[in-house]
Each structure stands twice: as structure tokens, then as C-alpha cells.
Structure 1
Amino acid sequence: MDITVADDPSEKSIIVKEAGGVGMIEAFPLTRDFYHQFVIPAALIEQEEEKELQAYMATEKHPVAKILPTTTVLKAKPAPYMAVFSSKGPNYITPEIIKPDITAPRVRIFVAWSLVATDHTAERPENYNIASGTSMACPHVSGIAAILEFYNPSWCPAAIMSAVMTTATVTDNTGQPIRNFPDGTQATPFDYGSGHVNPFAALDPGLIYDFDTSDVINFLCSYGASSRQLRNLTGKLVNCKNPLTPSYNLNYPSIGVFEVKGRLSVSRTVTYYGKSPTVYSANVVNPEGVKVMVTPPTLKFTKAGEKKSFKVSFTPHKRSKGTSFVFGSLTWSNGIHKVRSPIGVNVLSL
């Protein structure tokens, strides 16, 4: 029985199987994320190791190979790290919305698999698969959203999104900032959005950034949406406000400002979800070259459902390079909860 050695990632394991192969060895730069799928046992080796393998095969009349069973590695460190592919920022359509919103597990995920998606020519009627991509991260977040809706049936989708985003973590399991794979550079909100999802923390977010359909309409108006476009979207006649609400004032859990010209202030409103009176204090990490001030710096709440508004003022001291962003964060904390929002700033002029 044959094990095929492939030096071209485009060579599919399905072809090897159909040709009667029982295994596959593929040379692949392991410094890259690997998300190919195999229908037969396979092993990955570095390209340098391939040279040694080819030399062995050239000197042996009957070369022999054995692919050992895989093992599950638990508590790997550091984790998580950011994959090189899929849905990274910036957001070229609406740059005030930091892209992505959130990060969830998405690389080499063991998943239930529909038989409809199975290639039957390979005789592979399997109920499970290993896959990667945003399509793997989405079910994680969708499941978390369903749990939040179950425990908080009064929450709208925006509130659920806020709980997920503001409770995410930006550190790995070694306590260090999340990094990119494979170069080890520190990741930014354009890599992970608000951070890596933390479902337990999302159940008790403390504060919520909420918005509704009218807020979204104002946001679309700020980007030039016409009455006809809004009618097609909402099913009714809608007119934009005059003056328009600035796009950066959408009550989003992240804070992005683009092409800032001098000093700028952004408005946000939070809703308290707690049982006892409490005080939240603002803690800011300034983006490089930008001074950020929050007014008021403390928010006092006496009951659940109470809303408080605040302003975030930006004073730039350094221009951005083209459309590049610098990043910081705003965290509201009452000693128990930490409600964190990433900040992204692009400065056009001082």
C-alpha cells in the first residue's frame, strides 16, 4: 500500500485516495496556518525536512513510512494567537467601525458535518470534519449569543453584541498580549477586534452599549443613504435628520474615528445592568500621538436600566501615515466589572 509524498499543496488527498493511496506526506511551511482537509491519514513536514525525505527515498529501493495516530494537546501555550487569514481590518466601507468586532476559535475546529457537503466520489460519508475560517468562529459566537438571549430575554441584538465585545480578553493564557502567528508581533484591534470572546464574562457585562433601528438609520444617512434606499431597507418612508448625526456617534461598543482634523469629541451612552448602586471609573490607554479625555470620568448608577452618557475627546499631536490607525482603549470599571472598548484613530491633520 502506498503513501504519497506531495510537494504541491494543490495536490488533494482525495486524488491520492482515488488512486489507491492510503496515506500522504505533504511538505508545507509550518510557519503558516494550515487549514487543508484530508480524507486519508496525512503528515505535514517542513520543506527542509522534505529534502531529507527525498534523499532517503533516492537511496532506498523500497522506502518505508509510517504515519502515527494523532494526539490531542491540551493547555498549549501561548493561546490564543491570531491566524494569518480571514476578516481582518481595516474596514474600508465604514472605517469608523473597527473590524472585526470579536475573535473566536476558528483554526482546525472539530465540527459536526453535513452529508450534503460530503464529496461522495471519495466515499466519505462522515458526520464530522476538521475545518477552519470565519465559518468556524461564527458558530461559537452564535451559540454564546443564544445563551445570552436565554438568560436576558429583554436584550436586543445590539445589547448582546455589546456584552460579547466589551468582556472579551486581549491577553493570552500566559498573561501576555495576544500575538500574531507566525511572526509573533503584537496583535491589534484590526486582528482581533475587541478581543477573544469570553462567554462567562459576557453573562455579566455590567454596562451595555445599546442602539436601535433609528440609530442605524442615522448612521446610514451619515454615509449618504437616500430616502429610496432607506425605504427599500425599512419598508417605509424615512427622511434623514438635518443636521446629520456624525457616523462616529453610533453607540457602538468600539470607538473609531477616521480622518480626524484637530480636536474631536465622540458621544456614547451606557446602560447599567446590576443590582446595587455603583460607580464606574474610566481608564484610558492613549493611542500613540493622541491624547484621549473622558468626560465625566466617573459614572454613578443607582438602579438597573439607568443610562448615562459621556464624551470621549481626542486631541491629536501626530498625523497618521495615510489611512493607518493607532490604537488605544477605554475601560469602565467598578472594581468588579471591566467594560472595555477598543479605540482606533486615524489623524488627517492637527
Structure 2
Amino acid sequence: MSFYPMISLLVCTLLQITNAVSNAEESQTYIIHMDHSQKPSSFLTHEAWHRSTLTSLMSSSSLADQKNEMLLYSYNHVMHGFSARLTASQLSKLEESPAHVATYPESFGKLLTTHSSKFLGLRRNSGLLLASSSGQDVIIGIIDTGVWPESESFGDRGMSEVPKRWKGTCENGTYFTPSLCNNKLIGARSFSKGLKAAGIKISTKNDFDSPRDWFGHGSHTSSTAAGNHVPGASHFGYAKGTARGVAPRAHVAMYKVAWATDSEKSFASDVLAGMDQAISDGVDIMSLSLGIDFLPYFNDVIAIASLSAIEQGIVVVCAAGNDGKYSTTYNGAPWITTVGAGTLDRTFTATLTLDNGLTVEGTSYFPESVYITDVPLYYGKYNATKAICNTGSLGHNEVAGKVVLCDNTTETPVNGVDFQKKEVERAGGYAGIFMADLSLLEPDDFSIPAIIVPFATGALIREYATQVHTPRVKILSFVHTNLGTKPSPEVAYFSSRGPDPITPGILKPDILAPGVDVLAAVTPNNPCMEVNNYNLVTDYELYSGSSMAAPHVAGVAALLKAVHRKWSPAAIRSAIMTTAYSTANSHTSIQDQWSGLPATPLDFGAGHINPNKAMNPGLVYDMNVQDYIDFLCTLGYNDKQMKAVIRRSQWTCRQPPTELNYPSFVAIFNKTDSPKAKNFSRVVTNVGDDTSIYRAFLEVPRGMRITVEPNSLTFTGKYQQQGFVLNVEIDSDAPKVIYGYLRWVDHHDHMVSSPVVAINN
């Protein structure tokens, strides 16, 4: 499924220190953040300084043995520093240095489209796809598990030449040569020194020591963002059509930092090295379906590296996470575009017809176009225990060659269907009918013919099975793909929700994008599932996760970058957020897939991404690095913590503190607050018509009041800026989460929408 390494960071700087180290001490990996202003002028490069510093820590007896293995990476862009293997006494000496910023030990983590482009409204001959030439000449850097270069998605038919500004390369490694790159896949590197330093070996039995993808995750995300057109792609017949990425003419560069080894670990030092290299190589967009634990920004390797990328004009897009609960968003730094996962208007089904003529449809991914005809239906009359299909409850003689109907379960409710499916398979049932209003089975769980029906439908089947002496299934057929499913989109049950655990005053996730049953390229080297004792492999597979949602937004960012070359990362994110929609195709508010109840901006952010509207947003809420520094100044960080995040020894905090110019509003109130009111100051930049007048329209629920001053904005030129103040107030007995919208509307079809959320603690 999705890929979510929980990664820690460590940051520290140092000068040359002479000390003998005992060979008996155990070494660990540390990331060392150096104050580059203290580099002695005698060193021409920072790496030379790093190596000399490490050499000075060794005893003469261990110098020859240790000097090659201590330094792992030297970082130049995400921070000035390096990662190295150090003993406790060596580290202790380093921390005495006046140039020291901070130290943290290495940590590790574990692993976390034929229709989605159409669902996003992207058409070849109109809108954003046409205006951007499908993302031509834009470079998307994917930080992930590698790439399968032979996939048709990475073919370069119709691609433009590699941009001359590109500085990257394709490395040589296990089953990977530079010749595998082309005008589509223009860069491929791997980073594993942190992994190897921890004693984890890479072999062809568990991964490839090269940019080649073993797990399939990196191939999936990169082809989702920018895969070329591939006719006839499908998941064993499901979702059949032409697969293509969101930006099919954009170039792809893969940075492999996560590994499908036996330990399934990825390391902060490797992730940092990949991001550092991507900045150096010259990517325009950086997409990460990775996350760290909930850490303050000065400890968060992705937050620190991303701020450096933003400073270089690189748009950074990250997955929000798959924890599916309140206040569990990852990658919530305000300079990152954080993406939640939504559903598509597409379902995959089987059709069941009973002997009495009743025909029903249910969810299925069973990978064979088979028809099961005229087979006995088993329910286990007069034996409730067997009917439930709990583990060990079915006998082979009773269910062999029959379709088994499983009723409610006493197993863990979330995994009940999975337990029942395994029990039917164990007992030798021919096929299974399972009841669940929401199926949590993955496509590769369908190792036997199976259909999942809602409880109401299951009750009709049960009624037939209990009233007929010899109930039978007339036809059970598979591999059906249905479009136009309502309601959609919904917020995926697993998608992480806000408020952000680090900065709850910034609305996260920012945006919702397709993240359920996304078809994209995978690796054909590993079986995706087993059916009838046969291992099945495929070139394209359905994956779900916020990992799948992030590359959709990265692809849209690439299209916008192709049209608006000079827009900042903040302007691109603002355009994406303020043009999003929050109404499903059923003309109701976007719902929560798990509960079926209306979702809130804490679930879907500004709404679901709407690429064609984002091309011409009218107004944007722009920001630069100084704005983010001012934001950090309000968090109470000390000098060392500030240095760790902004990677400089001197900075200025504007006084009085300025508010972050974000395209959404969050007011947090405590029980003792009276009145419960808050003002927000914002500045919008005109990127639409030279002359225009925008008027404020407010959508306000009962228990909430919103005012805007002024309530109209007049622009007489492109890129002119205008400010306004928004006031929000809620009743003392308002719900815990209440929200409305501010929409700036002109007469040229621009609607600049921002959610206004109040949290009543």
C-alpha cells in the first residue's frame, strides 16, 4: 500500500577536534548540521572540511580503518553538514564545538491511472493540459523506492529533449545502467549508505542495489505524476484503458531512498541525501510519499530539506498520511503542499444472480473473467456459529464446491471480512459472499472468487438461503468496471485528518486528490497475489493511499509550472487551493467514506483539486522565504533551533510579527476565551485581468459570524496587491468544528475560495 517511513533527524555542526577514540566503542549514524560560516578558509569545499573534521576525531591506530566508513553523505543544499558513523565519545567532543547546532541519532521507518486524469477534468485538447503542452520541459523529482525503467510508462515516445538546465545523471548499479534512461526518465540515483551503515545488506533476494524498483511503490507514484500514454493497461481486466500520468510530457527523475529489504527500513540520512541531490540536479517539482513522526520543524528532516527546496523555487508536494484519525497529518510544514486521499467515481464489481432471479452487485477485484454458474449456496442453516464464518468454524465436507454466504462476524470488525475470506479459503469453499458496508480488503486480498455486498443486500441473500431447501447461485461473474459512482469524491477512510499536530493553526491537509484504487505502473518482478496456487504478476496495479494522492498534485503542479514559469511555489499552491471544490457529484458536501457523514476542511483541506480552474485563479496568496522565517519566529524557537530549520546563522524577524499569508483560515478557541473572536490579515495578488473588482461573498453556518473589511477589492494592474482583514467569531456553545467560506468573486468567472474553520476546544 502506501509508503510512510517514520524518520528522525539529527543536526549538528563542528570544528576540527583532536581526540583518540577507543576501538571498542560502538558507532552509530548521525546527521551533522554545520554552521557553514565557520568553515576555515583553508578548505576549498565543505566536503573537504567535513572529511578533515572526521579525520581529526580518529586515533592514529584506527585512522586507516575508519576514515572511509565514517562519512556517509556531505550535504550542500538541504543543509550544510554531513552524516557519519560516530562513537559516543566522538559525538561528545563534537557537541563542545562553538559551531554546533543540534544532534539527533539516525532513525528509520517502514513502508507506509486510466481514469483519474479524466476524473480531474484533464483533456488533451482543452484546458490546462493543452495550455501546458502536457507539462513539457518540467522536471518532477520523485523521492521514493526506485523505478522500473522498462515500463511503457517511462518510454519517451513523443517526449521533448532533456532540458539543458538539467544537471542530473543516471547511475550504474545492480540491473541498472545509464542506457536505461531516456528523454522521459532523465535521472535515476539511489541512496543507501545510511541503510548499509546500520548493517542492513541489500541483495537481489530482497532489493536491487541501484535505482531499480523492487517494491513497486516508486514506479507507481512516478508514473501517476508523469507516466507516458500506455494503451490497454489494466489490473487483470479492471480499470482497462489508456494509462497516463497527470503531466505525461513532463520529465521524471527518480531518487531511491527507501528499500524493500527484509527490514523494510529507510533512513533519514538517505532521504536527506536524495532531496539534496534533487535540488542540485535542478528539479522543478519534488514529490514525496514519505513521512516522519510528529516532530517540531527543527527535528523534521523533510521540513528542513523542503524549506531549502522552496528557497530554490521548487514546489514540494507530500502525502498527508494514512492514519485516518483526527490530528494525524504528516508533512504539515506551511511551505509544503500536503495532500489527503479521496475516492474516484469508479468502482470494481462482481454480479451475483440467485436461482430465484434476484440479481445484486458487490465489490470485487477477483482477477479472472470467469463465470460461476449453477453452484450450491451454503449458509449453514440452523447453525449460527458456522454461518458466521469465524476462524475454524467451517468444515471442508460442508462447503467444498459451494458458494459460502458469511454473516456478521465476532472477529475484529475492521478486519472481519479478511478473517472470513481466509476461513472460506481454508475450508475449500468455491467462492464467498461477504457482508460489509465498507470493504477494507485490498485488491491482492482476493485470492478466491469473492463478492462483498452491503448488509442490506446481504439480508436479501440470507432470506433466500434460509427459505429454500436447496439454494443455488445461478451466475456469479467478475471483472466489471463501473463509472459515475455517487457520491464521489469522498475522503478515503484511511486519509489522515487535521488539525495538524505540530501547528494546528495552519489548515492541513491543504488539498484532496485521488488516492483510492489508482491504476499505475508497478514492478513485474514480484508476484502481486496468489490465486489457485499460481503467483500472478502484472505491469499495472491498483494501489491506494495518500502516497497515490500526492503525485496527482505533483503532476498538476508541473502543468501549472509549465504555464506560469515565474510563479512561486506558494502561488502555485494557492491557485490549487482556492479553486478546489467541496461538493460531490451527488450535489452534497464531500463525505467521509468511513462514516458516510459530511466531512470538514480538517478532512479535505480547501477541497478536491480542480486543475483546469487552477490555471486561472484570478488572485493568489503569495509568500516567500522571509514570510516563512517570520512564521518560525512566532513559534518560540531558540537560536539553535532556528538555525537548524532555516540553515543560516543570521536572520531578521519582522516586528511586529506578521501573520502567515495562507489561503485558508483556522481559529482555535479555548473554553475560557470570551469573546471567541479572531482577526486575520491577508494580502492577495492579482494574476488575472489587468482591471477587475472582486467582491466578498460569505458562506456562514449558524453559530458562526464572519466579516471582511474591505468587502471589495479593486485592481488596476497585473500583480497588484491588496490587503484585507477577516474577522471570525463563534458562539460559546458552537460545535467542536464549525466552518464557512470566504469567496472573492469578480465578473470574469473567477471565484477565489478559502475555508474559514473554527475549532472550539
TM range, smaller chain: 0.7 to 0.9
> Partners in 1 of 2:420 and 2:617 — Cα distance?
46
* Cα distance, 1:142 vs structure 2: 1.5
8 Å CA contact retained: 1:281, 1:333: yes
How many pairs were matched up?
340
- The alpha carbon displacement at 1:68 in A equals 1.0
For the pair 1:282 / 2:688, whether they are aligned, the reply is no
Residue type of the alignment partner of 2:751: K
Which whole-Å deviations, capped at 9, do the CAs of 1:30-73 have from their partners, x for residues lacking one?
2x2535122645322456839849968xx87x987864122222
Structure 1 contact 273–304 (Cα < 8 Å) conserved: yes
Which amino acid in structure 1 is aligned with residue 688 of structure 2? G
SS of the residue 1:300 aligns to: strand
Matched with 2:436 is 29
Scaled by the length of structure 1, the TM-score of the pair is 0.83
Alpha-carbon deviations, 1:285-310, whole Å to 9, x = none?
Answer: 23543322111111111121111111
Aligned to 1:181: 593
Q: Are positions 1:342 and 2:755 aligned together?
A: yes
For the Cα contact (< 8 Å) 1:9–1:26, is it kept in 2? no
- Equivalent pair of 1:106/1:132 in contact (CA under 8 Å): yes
Residue in 1 aligned with 2:252? none
Q: Which has the larger radius of gyration?
A: 2
| Residue in structure 1 matching 2:452, options 30, 38, 44 | 44
Unaligned runs of 5+ in 2: 1-399, 410-415
Q: Single out whichever of 112-121 and 280-289 deviates more from structure 2.
A: 112-121
For residues 218 and 115 of structure 1, do their structure 2 counterparts lie closer, same or farther at Cα, with a shift above 3 Å needed? farther
Contact residue 287 and residue 345 of structure 1 kept, 8 A: no
1:340 positional shift: 0.2
Q: Deviations over 1:215-236 (max 9, x none)?
A: 1222222222222122222221
- Summarize the Cα distance change of 1:153–1:309 in structure 2 as closer, same or farther, 3 Å threshold: same
Residues 224, 65 of structure 1: alpha-carbon distance in 2 compared, 3 angstrom cutoff: farther
Cα 1:116–1:28, aligned 2, differ >3 Å: closer, same or farther? farther
The one-letter code sitting in structure 2 at the alignment partner of 1:43 is I
Aligned equivalents of 2:654, 2:589: Cα separation in 1: 43
Q: Which stretch shows the higher mean deviation, 283-292 or 115-124?
A: 115-124
Which of 495, 515, 538 in structure 2 is aligned with 1:126?
538
How far apart are the structure 2 equivalents of 1:16 and 1:243?
68
1:100 counterpart letter in structure 2: P
Counterpart in the other structure of 2:717? 303
* Alpha-carbon displacement from aligned partner over 1:241-295 (angstroms, at most 9, x marks no partner): 275626xx21111111212743431111111112330000111123543322111
Q: Which residue of 1 aligns with 2:307?
A: none
- Alignment of 1:257 with 2:667, yes or no, is yes
Cα separation, partners in 2 of 1:243 and 1:274, compared to 1, 3 Å: closer
1:5-154 aligned at under 5 Å gives the runs 8-11=416-419, 24-25=431-432, 27-30=434-437, 32-38=438-444, 40=447, 41-46=449-454, 49=458, 52=462, 67-115=476-524, 118-119=527-528, 123-154=535-566
The answer (yes or no) to whether the contact 1:281–1:332 under 8 Å persists in 2 is yes
Question: How far apart are residue 237 of structure 1 and its match?
Answer: 1.4
Q: Does 1:219 align with 2:620?
A: no
Provide the C-alpha distance between the structure 2 equivalents of 1:293 and 1:253, rounded to a whole number of angstroms. 16
Q: Give secondary structure in 2 for the equivalent of 1:34.
A: coil
Say if 2:528 and 2:538, in contact at 8 Å, map to a contact too.
Answer: no
Q: How does 1:162-241 map to 2 (within 5 A)?
A: 162-181=574-593, 183-239=595-651, 241=653
Report if aligned partners of 1:95, 1:257 keep a CA contact under 8 Å in 2.
Answer: no
Rounded Cα–Cα distance in structure 1 between residues aligned with 2:700 and 2:491: 23
Output one character per residue of 1:170-194: Cα deviation in whole Å (capped at 9) or x when no partner: 1122333223335442221122111
Bigger mean CA deviation after superposition, 130-139 or 336-345: 130-139
Which amino acid is the alignment partner of residue 493 of structure 2?
A: V
Q: 1:10 to 1:342 in 2, by over 3 A?
A: same
Q: Secondary structure at the match of 2:602?
A: helix
Q: Contact (CA 8 Å) 1:35, 1:132: kept in 2 or not?
A: no
Determine the C-alpha separation between the residues in 2 that align with 1:3 and 1:108.
Answer: 30
> Partner residue of 2:235?
none
CA distance in 2, matches of 1:257, 1:120: 47
- Could you tell me how far 1:113 is from its partner in structure 2? 1.8
Cα pair 1:4 1:25 within 8 Å, conserved: yes
Say if 2:678 is the partner of 1:269: no
Distance 1:65 1:16, change over 3 A: farther
C-alpha separation between the residues in 2 aligned to 1:259 and 1:341?
A: 20
SS of residue in 2 equivalent to 1:161: helix
How many angstroms apart in 2 are the aligned matches of 1:99 and 1:35? 27
Separation of aligned partners in 2, 1:160 and 1:23:
53
Determine the structure 1 residue equivalent to 2:331: none
Instruction: Quote how far apart the aligned CAs of 1:86 are.
Output: 1.2
Matching residue's letter, 1:306: Q
CA distance in structure 2 between the aligned counterparts of 1:42 and 1:14, rounded to whole angstroms? 11
Whole-angstrom CA distance in 1 between matches of 2:463 and 2:714: 67
For the residues of structure 2 that align with 1:313 and 1:197, how far apart are their CA atoms?
27
Which string of whole-angstrom CA distances, capped at 9 and with x for unpartnered residues, describes residues 154-209 of structure 1?
11211111111110111122333223335442221122111111111111111111
Counterpart code for 1:69: F
Q: Distance in 2 between matches of 1:226 and 1:236?
A: 13
SS at match of 1:266: strand
1:317 to 1:69, Cα distance in 2 relative to 1, 3 A: closer
> Identity rate of aligned residues, in percent?
32
Task: Name the counterpart of 1:158.
Answer: 570
Asked if the contact 1:42/1:67 (under 8 Å) is kept, the reply is no
For 1:295 and 1:36, locate their aligned partners in 2 and report how far apart those are by CA, in whole Å.
Answer: 50
| Native 8 Å contact 1:83 1:107 kept in 2 | yes
Distance in structure 2 (CA, Å) of the matches to 1:54 and 1:158: 59
Matched residue of 1:89: which SS?
coil
Q: RMSD between aligned alpha carbons?
A: 3.4
CA apart distance, 1:339: 0.4
Secondary structure of 1:104's aligned partner = strand
SS at match of 1:103: strand
Taking the aligned partners of 1:239 and 1:276, their CA distance within structure 2 comes to 36
Quick one: distance in 2 between partners of 1:240 and 1:287?
40
Inter-CA distance 117–297: structure 2 relative to 1 (3 Å threshold): farther
C-alpha separation in 2, matches of 1:113 and 1:13: 26
CA change 1:3–1:240 in 2 (3 A) is farther
